[in-house]
Structure 1
Amino acid sequence: MLRLSIRNLLAGKLRLFLTVAAVTVGVSFVSGTFVLSDTMAKAFDGLYVGLTSGTDVVVKSKAAFEADVTTNGGQVRPIDEAMVDEVRGVPGVALARGGVTGFALILDRHGKPIQPGGAPTIGASVGDIRLAGDFVYRQGDQPTRSDQVAIDARTAEQAGFRLGDRVDVIFQGGRQTFTLVGIIGFGETDSLLGATMAGFDLTTAQRVLDKVGLVDEVDVQAEPGVSPAQLRDRIAAILPDHVEALTGDQVAADGSAAVRDAMGVFTTVLLVFAGISVLVGSFVIWNTFNVLVAQRRREVALLRAVGATRRQVLGGVLLEALLVGSFSGALGLVLGVALAAGIRSLLTLIGVEMPTTTPAVEMRTIVAALLVGIVVTMVAAVAPAWAATRVSPMEALRDAVPTRYAVGRMRSVAGWVLLAAGTAALVVCIVAGNQRWWTVLATSVTFAGLVVAGPTLARATARLADHGRRGGGWRLAARNIARNARRSAATALALTIGLTVVVAVAVCAASLRESVADAVSGGNRSDLILEPAGAGLGVSPSVADLLRRRDDVADVVELRETGARVNGHDSLVSAMSAEGLDRVIDLGVEEGSLQAFGPGGILVSTQEADDLGVGPGDVVTVMFPETGPTTLRVAATFSRGALINASYVLALPDFAANVTSELDAAILVDAAPGVDPAQAKTDIEAALAAYPNVTVNSPEDITAKAQASVNQLLGIVTALLLLAVVVAVLGIVNTLVLSVVERTRELGLLRAVGGTRRQVRSVVRRESILMSLLGAVTGVALGTLAGVSLSRALVAEGITTVSVPVVTLAIYLVVAAAVGVLAAVGPARRASRVDFLGAIASE
């Protein structure tokens, strides 16, 4: 049976290729995701261990809680510089050096900001190389004067800087110019995960980063014979409660873990797309093994006639599935390594540089790849294998005839019940809103209903197409669809899965675009909005000071953001100037009043107020990572928070008392009475020439930028989902191949009675179009319902208006029909070349 299984696989090379491709796509996504995450973890571990290898103990402020590094940048509260001398006096300390970090944006030779995609722009003190580990000077030396700077090698290469060049840097307090005296490397890596870095001597760094008399941490090296743990315990004994001592290994592990956690969402998203591809592939595999069984019915019958048992037949088909799954898993593992390398290169292109390291292929990845390949293939092949055991030995006496599978009444009823229940649940989710997981469950139930009721839907599609003249192409195609409705439905549903997700994403994206426009037009009252260019961390507060001194400006309201914990719930909180707030933005106050908003007060969105059970006059506890808990009184609740992207708004003094960073995420500006906003924009842009990282936007500009970002994200997601659609197309090809094989004699008779090759090809193409349209219509319908329900559930993420992109959905239907035509090219040509003399001569 092993030799027979191998021979059977190799006999149908095209089908073998299509099956392997269907499984391999999903497996490569799974293995590639694991390889990428493991490689990144290995790289981060090596980078942080290398950077802390010269430091035995690090002293820094305790964080009140472990905040997401993406919301607060991992900032800790600075400590008094006198702590350095205290630590230096602890027995066993050989070296102790204070250090500071902060915001520093390097400008290139043309005065344009160097802003890596998503990575921070860092300013830091650099000093004793003995404490620096893998931190090295590739060229030049460390800065020692107030007019000197050292920058990372990646930034120097990108900007074309050489030693001795003048380099402009923007800080929280404004712009300054330095002389480049050193180029920094981090082991074999040119930058810290793509971030730019400007290094200064400690005194200069404290001045430009607004930390005079303060340090962010104290790096300590132990004397020979003193272990890091021993020295940590000695230092901890002299520290106040709000300061802690950690070993270098602990700091390295924490830093690596923080970066891995920040990248965790990326890994999860890739695994979701992998799951979709695997699910689509399972339908394709089911159809492929139906092809194998149907083509070999006479062969299986002969095996049964000469004594093969049903168990042997079942084992033979499952053995083929095992071989296909094993090969696909191994191939998917290899392609996954290449996929991980490609994604890593893509990250480098957008500015996120990974430390140099070899790909990490862990045992977990190998096991996962093989398991996914084998289990998915074996499970999908069970039903066709079981069908093979029911082939009668008597079929050895006649040629294969088209197989018909009856669809029981109970199945039809169960399918329509599931379909109705799932659809009704989706409608309830749409009406109720804020039902994310119920939406997922309802969508799953609806799809299950489509799977069970699929044959009925296929026959209904066939009846709709069964019109025209007798013997016409559409009638023949429709009857071929109805003849094996179960297989046709399974083929269509593979396409349904991919299109459901694509359409749901498209609906959410369209809703987000409309919500952005509504937020700007409905919630915004300002004439201009200033933002950091690109992926910048913020705008210097000196920009707001400059604006307040201008005669053509009436109101200036700063907006800042950070991560915090409100009544035990992690959230992004905003801070805004109380003065002029109601003149630049309409928050849609529901209860309370903005007149009560100021230091000690907080504004809460209506949704969060309901979740927390609070209202105006109630007290909430806001815990900041740097300073810990503080209590604030609710001044008002609001319903229009999309423009500021936060559920909580503090007064700026409260924010400044708990957050070190003073950078503004945005500045809302009202022009003075009688001043044309367009002219004010031009004049302000000219006045901010020294701040090239600041963009001055009209409300229309903000809307266009936000919608462009949504479109870009939609494009990326759609491109990833196209792989699942490609797998679904393979399923259509397989089903058409089966149809041609089963109807060899029928096609021969068509040719014998005068049917041309063109007419035969047309029949096969129309079958493909009908299956594609069935999958497209069900996918678009289910995806639209799921997308509307998800949009209603994502109010907290800024979706306040639901929009269905009708034109886009119509395009999807047209594309699906085109896909049907393309998928039918090969099978249609094969059908038109059937030897009709041999076909009609056989009995």
Structure 2
Amino acid sequence: MLRVSLRNLLSHKLRLLLTVAAVTIGVAFVSGTFVLSDTMNKAFDELFSGIRGNTDVVVRSASAYDEPAFQGEARPLDQGLVDTVAAVPGVAVAEGSVTGFALILDKDGAPIQPGGAPTLGTSVSASTDLTGAFTYRDGRPPQGLGEVTIDARSAEGAGYDLGDEVDIVLADGGAQTFTLVAVTGFGDSDSLAGATLAGFDLPTAQQVLGKSGQVDEIAVLAESDVRPEDLRSSIADVLPPGTEALSGAEVAGEQATAMQDGLAVFSQVLLVFAAVALLVGSFVIWNTFNVLVAQRRREIALLRAVGATRRQVLSGILLESEAIGLLASALGILAGMGLAIGIRQLLVLIGIEVPTTAVALEPRTVIAALAVGVGVTTLAAAVPGWAATRIAPIEALRDSTPTTDGIRLRRRIAGPLVLGAGVLGLVASAVVGDEMMLTALASLTAFVGLVLAGPSLAQGTARIAGHGRRGGSWRMAARNIARAPRRAAATALALTIGVTVVAAVTVTATSMGESVQEVVAGSNRADFILTRTGAGISPAAAATLRDLEALDAVVALKYAGAQVEGTRSVVAALDPSDLELVMDVGDPVGVIDLSPGAVVMGTREAASHGVEVGDTVTVTFPETGEVTLTLTAIVGEGPTTLIGSAHWVSLEDFAANVTSTLDGSVLVSAAPGADLVATEQLIGQRLADHPNVVVNDPAELVASNQASVDQLLGVVTALLLLAVVIAVLGIVNTLVLSVLERTRELGLMRAVGATRRQVRAIVRRESVLMAMLGAVTGIALGTLVGVAISRSLGDEGITQVSVPVAQLAGYLLVAAAVGIIAAIAPARRASKVDVLRAVVQE
């Protein structure tokens, strides 16, 4: 049976190639995801371990809860604590450091802000014993108020050389000018994961970063004869409450984990696409082996007649599938390594620099790739293989005939019922809203129903297309579809999966864009919205606008991560005195009072926490811990969406619990009768010293958000096109097998006068019918799923549901083109059938 299986594989090389390609793409995504994740983990572990390599103990403020990636800045420590730590027996060196906001400008005055990475200002170590992998590529450490060192990536990108003057925007106001005295690196990396970094000596950093007399953390080096663990315990004994001592390895691990978690979304997205690709590929394999078993019925019967057992027949087919899986897995691992390298380069292009290290191919990756590749192919071939075992030896005496497959009565009944249940569930989810679990369950049910009802839908498609003229190519193509509806349905379903996901994402993204526009149009009264590039906007930007007579209101918004009633949230701080001049607050429950000790919440959030006006709400800030606030008002979705947070606190409470003073955005309203064009120019002039601030009118803000949504949609669609490629391979595979089984039929057609052009037309139109069946069902299901998801994401700011009919119609045209392209090679093969050999073939 091993010889028979290998012979069957090698005798049909095109079929083998197409089937292997369908699996390889999915395996490449799986292996590429693991390779990328492992490589990034290794790189960041090496980077931060190198930076902290000479640090034995780190002293810092303790966080109120354990979410390192969501904590923001550390609470500063009194600089006097450095002397306290240095006096602990066993301490060789103890040095404080500070970190804050510093935005480097290029020579044209434009912010250097790659891909949204942090823009950091920091103190640089005066002790070479603590620098670790932080190195000076060129120059010397900065000394005094006028000197700075910047990272090598920023220096190279902006064209800075030693001795040049560098303008840097700081949190307390406009840009200050410094002399570049050094260029720094981090091991082999030119930047810290893409972040820009401006380094000063400690006194200068404390002054320019607004932390005079304070340090963010204290790095400690132990004496040579002291164990770091013992020194850590000794230091912990002298620390004040709210402060902790950690090992350098622990802090390095936290920093590496924070970076890895921040980039984990790429891995998660790739795994989703891997699942889609593998699901599509499984349909291709399943369909291929179904057709193979049907075409080889006589061969299998002969094997049974000469003594092959049912077990041997099944093992032979499974051996074929496992061989395909092994080959696809090996190719997928190689392709995955290339994919990981390509994505890493893409991250560099958008400003996220992953430290240089060797590609990490872990045993887990190889095992996962083999398990996925071999597992998918084996499972997909199991059902057709089991059907092959039921072929009786007597069938060896029958002539082979073109494959036909009927639809059992119970499938005809179950398909529409399950599909209908799924559709009703999606409709209910769309009507009720906020039912993500119901949406997921209904989507799965609808898809299962589509699988069951697929052959009936294929027959229906054939009946619709079969009304052409007698003998016409459309009618003959429809007859071929009707003759093998299960095969056609399985081929179409491979395309349905990809189109469903694309359509669902398109509807959701369009709804998101429409929701932003509706919020801006419905709740916004501001004439201008100031946004930023980088971590934030200096409070001086809003302050410099408040004395302009052309402006009626300037409302600055600050943001911080916190836990509200134990739930991770974003808290906004603002002065509500001019709030109604920049937005329509609607009809709130209670009075919007943001005096110290007060909090305002959104309607959904108040309901989910079960609180009403007058109740107390616990907000846990990572820097200071729990704060009990009184709920003074509950506002609707429009205001909370426009503000960007459903939890508002006073500026006083924010300042008492959050170190950062930066604004996130600023809402500006012009005075009645003011010329908006002239006012915008005046605002731009006042903000000349704040080049990271962008002035938008409401239309520009909507356009900017829509551009971001379109960009996301473009990336998702591009990745999902790979699933469409697999579906195309499936159509090609099905058509090639169909041509092979209909060799005699095609020869007879040619013998009675059909031209090669007519034969090619029949094959092309059969392909188009299958592609359109997949596209129509995919768009219909994807649209329903997209609407249900949009209605389920009301808490995330999607308040409008929009179906882009023109774009979805464009997908139908693309599907038709896919059908034509997929049929090119099979149609040519069909038109070249040898008439005489085909006629005499049994």
TM-score (norm 1): 0.98
SS at match of 1:642: helix
1:342 pairs with 2:342: yes
Q: Following TM superposition, by how much is the alpha carbon of 1:484 offset from its aligned partner in structure 2, in angstroms?
A: 0.8
The AA in structure 1 aligned to 2:87 is G
Q: How does 1:194-209 map to 2 (within 5 A)?
A: 194-209=194-209
The AA in structure 2 aligned to 1:600 is G
Equivalent residue, structure 1, for 2:546: 548
Kept after mapping to 2: 8 A contact 1:520/1:643 = yes
Equivalent residue, structure 2, for 1:172: 171
Distance 1:632 1:176 in 2: 39
1:151 pairs with 2:150: yes
Residue identity (%):
59
Equivalent residue, structure 2, for 1:161: 160
1:691 pairs with 2:706: no
Equivalent residue, structure 2, for 1:411: 411
Q: Following TM superposition, by how much is the alpha carbon of 1:398 offset from its aligned partner in structure 2, in angstroms?
A: 5.0
Select the residue among 532, 554, 557 that pairs with 2:555.
557
Q: Following TM superposition, by how much is the alpha carbon of 1:30 offset from its aligned partner in structure 2, in angstroms?
A: 0.4
Equivalent residue, structure 1, for 2:620: 623
Equivalent residue, structure 2, for 1:723: 722
Equivalent residue, structure 2, for 1:184: 184
Distance 1:469 1:347 in 2: 56
Distance 1:842 1:5 in 2: 24
The AA in structure 2 aligned to 1:715 is G
Q: How does 1:676-825 map to 2 (within 5 A)?
A: 676-825=675-824
Q: Deviations over 1:335-366 (max 9, x none)?
A: 11110011001101111001110011111111
The AA in structure 1 aligned to 2:256 is S
The AA in structure 2 aligned to 1:758 is R
Q: Following TM superposition, by how much is the alpha carbon of 1:300 offset from its aligned partner in structure 2, in angstroms?
A: 2.5
Distance 1:7 1:588 in 2: 75
Equivalent residue, structure 2, for 1:289: 289
SS at match of 2:660: coil
Q: Following TM superposition, by how much is the alpha carbon of 1:611 offset from its aligned partner in structure 2, in angstroms?
A: 0.3
Kept after mapping to 1: 8 A contact 2:295/2:402 = no
Kept after mapping to 1: 8 A contact 2:588/2:633 = yes
Q: How does 1:350-361 map to 2 (within 5 A)?
A: 350-361=350-361
Q: Following TM superposition, by how much is the alpha carbon of 1:399 offset from its aligned partner in structure 2, in angstroms?
A: 4.5
Distance 1:591 1:430 in 2: 28
Select the residue among 621, 624, 633 that pairs with 2:630.
633
Note closer, same or farther for the CA distance 1:834–1:313 as it changes in structure 2 (3 Å cut).
Answer: same
Segments of structure 2 that go 5 or more residues without pairing to the other structure are none
Kept after mapping to 1: 8 A contact 2:465/2:474 = yes
Equivalent residue, structure 1, for 2:674: 675
The AA in structure 2 aligned to 1:617 is G
Equivalent residue, structure 1, for 2:54: 54
Q: Which moved more, 1:538-547 or 1:646-655?
A: 646-655
SS at match of 1:562: strand
Distance 2:493 2:613 in 1: 52
| Root-mean-square deviation over aligned CA pairs | 1.3
Equivalent residue, structure 2, for 1:217: 217
Select the residue among 575, 591, 596 that pairs with 1:593.
591
The AA in structure 2 aligned to 1:253 is G
Q: Deviations over 1:702-736 (max 9, x none)?
A: 01100000000000000011001110111111111
The AA in structure 2 aligned to 1:633 is T
Distance 2:595 2:732 in 1: 66
SS at match of 1:643: helix
Note closer, same or farther for the CA distance 1:425–1:68 as it changes in structure 2 (3 Å cut).
Answer: farther
Kept after mapping to 2: 8 A contact 1:135/1:184 = yes
Equivalent residue, structure 1, for 2:94: 96
Distance 1:364 1:395 in 2: 46
Kept after mapping to 2: 8 A contact 1:149/1:180 = yes
Kept after mapping to 2: 8 A contact 1:129/1:135 = no
Distance 1:345 1:278 in 2: 25
SS at match of 1:164: coil
SS at match of 1:42: helix
Distance 1:509 1:662 in 2: 33
Count of residues paired in the alignment: 838
Kept after mapping to 2: 8 A contact 1:61/1:243 = yes
Kept after mapping to 2: 8 A contact 1:67/1:563 = no
Q: Following TM superposition, by how much is the alpha carbon of 1:586 offset from its aligned partner in structure 2, in angstroms?
A: 1.9
Q: Which moved more, 1:193-202 or 1:265-274?
A: 265-274
Q: Following TM superposition, by how much is the alpha carbon of 1:528 offset from its aligned partner in structure 2, in angstroms?
A: 0.7
Q: Following TM superposition, by how much is the alpha carbon of 1:654 offset from its aligned partner in structure 2, in angstroms?
A: 1.4
Equivalent residue, structure 2, for 1:30: 30
Q: Deviations over 1:542-573 (max 9, x none)?
A: 00110012222221100111110000000111
Distance 1:408 1:388 in 2: 18
Kept after mapping to 1: 8 A contact 2:465/2:475 = yes
Distance 1:414 1:590 in 2: 50
Distance 1:746 1:397 in 2: 21
Note closer, same or farther for the CA distance 1:613–1:781 as it changes in structure 2 (3 Å cut).
Answer: same
Distance 1:98 1:344 in 2: 35
The AA in structure 2 aligned to 1:324 is I
Q: How does 1:281-320 map to 2 (within 5 A)?
A: 281-320=281-320
Q: Following TM superposition, by how much is the alpha carbon of 1:295 offset from its aligned partner in structure 2, in angstroms?
A: 4.0
Kept after mapping to 2: 8 A contact 1:426/1:439 = yes
Distance 1:122 1:644 in 2: 26
Q: How does 1:367-378 map to 2 (within 5 A)?
A: 367-378=367-378
The AA in structure 2 aligned to 1:440 is A
Q: Deviations over 1:34-73 (max 9, x none)?
A: 110111111111011100011111000001012362x553
SS at match of 1:263: helix
Equivalent residue, structure 2, for 1:276: 276
Distance 1:676 1:13 in 2: 73
Distance 2:342 2:531 in 1: 33
Equivalent residue, structure 2, for 1:651: 650
Q: How does 1:408-487 map to 2 (within 5 A)?
A: 408-487=408-487
Equivalent residue, structure 1, for 2:603: 606
Kept after mapping to 1: 8 A contact 2:291/2:487 = no
Note closer, same or farther for the CA distance 1:781–1:478 as it changes in structure 2 (3 Å cut).
Answer: same
The AA in structure 2 aligned to 1:381 is A
Q: Deviations over 1:432-460 (max 9, x none)?
A: 10111221111000000010111111111
Kept after mapping to 1: 8 A contact 2:575/2:594 = no
Distance 2:393 2:567 in 1: 68
Q: Which moved more, 1:316-325 or 1:730-739?
A: 730-739
The AA in structure 1 aligned to 2:91 is V
SS at match of 1:341: helix
Distance 2:612 2:783 in 1: 36
Kept after mapping to 2: 8 A contact 1:528/1:677 = no
Distance 2:461 2:796 in 1: 39
The AA in structure 2 aligned to 1:246 is L
The AA in structure 2 aligned to 1:737 is V
Kept after mapping to 2: 8 A contact 1:505/1:787 = yes
Q: Following TM superposition, by how much is the alpha carbon of 1:298 offset from its aligned partner in structure 2, in angstroms?
A: 3.5
Distance 2:841 2:129 in 1: 88
Q: Following TM superposition, by how much is the alpha carbon of 1:684 offset from its aligned partner in structure 2, in angstroms?
A: 1.1
Kept after mapping to 2: 8 A contact 1:39/1:360 = yes
Kept after mapping to 2: 8 A contact 1:193/1:354 = yes
Q: Deviations over 1:79-136 (max 9, x none)?
A: 1011001001100111111100000000011111100103100000012221111111
Q: Deviations over 1:569-608 (max 9, x none)?
A: 00111112222011101233441122x3332221111111
Q: Deviations over 1:460-491 (max 9, x none)?
A: 11111110221111111111111111111111
The AA in structure 1 aligned to 2:565 is N
Distance 1:597 1:356 in 2: 49
Kept after mapping to 2: 8 A contact 1:150/1:200 = yes
The AA in structure 2 aligned to 1:402 is P
SS at match of 1:237: helix
